[in-house]
Chain A
Amino acid sequence: MTIMTRILMKGNEAIAEAAIRAGAIYYFAYPITPQSEVGEYMSRRLPEIGGVFVQAESEVAVGNMLMGAVSSGKRAFTSSSSPGISLMQEAISTMAGAELPVVLINIMRGGPGIGGILPSQADYFQSTKGGGHGDYRVLVLAPSTLPETVDLTMLAFHLADKYCNPTMVVADGMIGQMMEPVEFPEKYKEEPLPPKDWATTGCRGRAPKIIKSLFLDPLALEKNNIVLAEKYKLMKRDEVRFEAYKINPKNRILMVAYGTMARICQTVIDDLEEEQISIGLLRPITLFPFPIQEIFAEAVKPNIEVVLTVEMSMGQMVEDVEAAVKGRKPVEFYGRTGGIVPTPGEVRDYIMKILAKKTPAVKSRKGKGE
């Protein structure tokens, strides 16, 4: 049995160490609040273990440096925050089109624009619906606690290599800045991965390889898009991850939340349980592929009156939840934005409003004679 030591670490630093343990010792980044500590940690650690740390001149440069690095078959990654991830979109689209594995960490902050420096979850659309141009998706993982952040960061590298696609871990400023005890496995177990025989490593003894996303012939470009689409179908079939928290036949409301927000909702659920009000939480861990079937299956159960989505945004994941529920139950939304993290008290108050049938979706249902 391997004994793992528990260390009290800051989220940003835990992410950095997790990546190192997954073999990603090549890091390119630009400082941006609230994730600059990832870079500072890497600048200390990487020279100790023979890795490479480059502070690029901008996030645009970072995205392109990453593309160069992963083209050689090595595990490289970056971390940034919302405005920086916006600058990388062209590179992400290109890496998806060229089928390159890369991991990006987004420590989300308030937006849009320069926004603020406090946590938010307002990059859901940006991560899951594209962000960049063209027909591509990014596999998106959303941890909720620091130990899970460590696990998902390591998993991200594995999934990126498995599908040769950009993979993103979306945390928020709270996760980046808080400290919790974490453990790093001595040896991270991964399933066998396909060999990286597409990597440009010098063509001695073989025909030259080309990594590109340009296909001037429209039929060839369509073929590339179909290849990508097949990958995304496989992801939807095999990589959906979620957590069910206190879901049982006594639930009156199904909550859907991810990341830090899910943690707060768990507190609300525990508090309401003591008041004999039963609520369940379905926490998506993969935002793409989204647990569509699982949400539908829970929502249509007869005991569920309402589906409540709680996010730190003006309502982004709620659109996917509405699509998953297919109109079978009213979908309510509660959110705060601007960097404000809702308290369990305010979420609880909104739930009480829902149960008293005073909220928009529920009220409009009553009008339709449901």
Chain B
Amino acid sequence: MNESTHAIFTRPQSYQDAVTHYCPGCAHGIIHRMVAEVLDELGLRERTVGIAPVGCAVLIYNYIKTDFVEALHGRAPAFATGLKRVSPELIVFTYQGDGDLASIGTNEIIHAANRGEKITTIFVNNAIYGMTGGQMAPTTMPGQITATSPRGRNVKECGYPIRIAELLSSLRTPAYIERVAVYNPQNIVRAKKAIRKAFQYQVDNKCFSLVEVLSTCPTNWGMTPQEALKWQETTMLPYYPLGCFKTPGNEVE
């Protein structure tokens, strides 16, 4: 390396120096980094407030260098509503997992989306409850073995997994809703594009934006990180199709 060596990929500015507590190979790290990179690129760090969830990402405030408020389990969209309504000049985002958004917080996310709150939600879907030790989530796949579905998720008793992106896109209020994945570098590039679009909609004060990111949980799925990415591609992807489900302007009549 000679003196004109320069770095073309570094840790984002909006990233703290802390080592994360996430398991090796956990996709939370990839998604956190993408959020931090977007905040850097759009110059939003100093006017952003994040709302932390309850879940593995409860300590996100130690990793992303913005103001944060810690919300109760599932209530992040309500916190974000309160904050954004009184301080509309702030960029407010929530970062939530399956339990937080798809289980206890379904009420809050539906109504925040329906009222068209100008907030951005990053929904991390890894088909399991990570932090509490691998229990079944509303997004758990049929037949998937978890700590509270030891014989596999039985759809006759527990129903089918909830598809949040589709559910929210059925609302009339304008919104930007997209589902992305991280199982290979190509999809990581697309995921970041979607996250950037979501924050840009908030900067333009247009609408509610939500990016559902298919993620992994190597520890509770009982796989290596690489196997977990493969499982996402083979098992989650057919059920949770990727793509943009809603942009402001194509509302259902």
Contacts and interface: CB of A to CB of B under 8 A. Distances in A.
Q: Do A and B come from one complex?
A: yes
A36 interface: yes
B57 to A, nearest CB: 13
Nearest to A43: B148
A58 B103 contact: yes
A53 B105 CA distance: 21
B138 interface: yes
B68 to A, nearest CB: 13
Contacts, number: 53
Interface residues of A, number: 19
B73 interface: yes
A36 B147 contact: yes
Contact of A57 (B106, B148, B149): B106
Interface string B119-145: 000000000010111011010000000
A228 to B, nearest CB: 31
B233 interface: no
A237 B99 CA distance: 44
Interface string A11-54: 00000000000000000001111001001100110010000010
B74 A39 contact: no
B interface, by DSSP: helix, strand, loop or mixed? loop
Contacts of A47: 151
B150 interface: yes
B107 to A, nearest CB: 9
A57 B135 contact: no
Nearest to B70: A114
Interface string B66-77: 000010111000
B104 interface: yes
A200 interface: no
B100 to A, nearest CB: 10
A36 B103 CA distance: 16
B73 A55 contact: no
B229 interface: no
Contacts of A53: 148
A60 B136 CA distance: 18
Top 9 nearest A-B pairs by Cβ distance? Answer: A58-B104, A31-B132, A43-B148, A31-B135, A40-B147, A57-B103, A36-B132, A44-B150, A55-B148
Given A39-B148, A43-B150, A83-B73, 9 more contacts: A30-B103, A31-B132, A39-B135, A40-B147, A40-B148, A55-B135, A57-B138, A58-B74, A114-B72
Interface of A: 30-33, 36, 39-40, 43-44, 47, 53, 55, 57-60, 83, 113-114
19 contacts: A31-B148, A33-B131, A36-B133, A40-B135, A43-B148, A47-B151, A53-B148, A55-B148, A57-B103, A57-B138, A58-B103, A58-B105, A60-B104, A83-B72, A83-B73, A114-B54, A114-B70, A114-B72, A114-B73
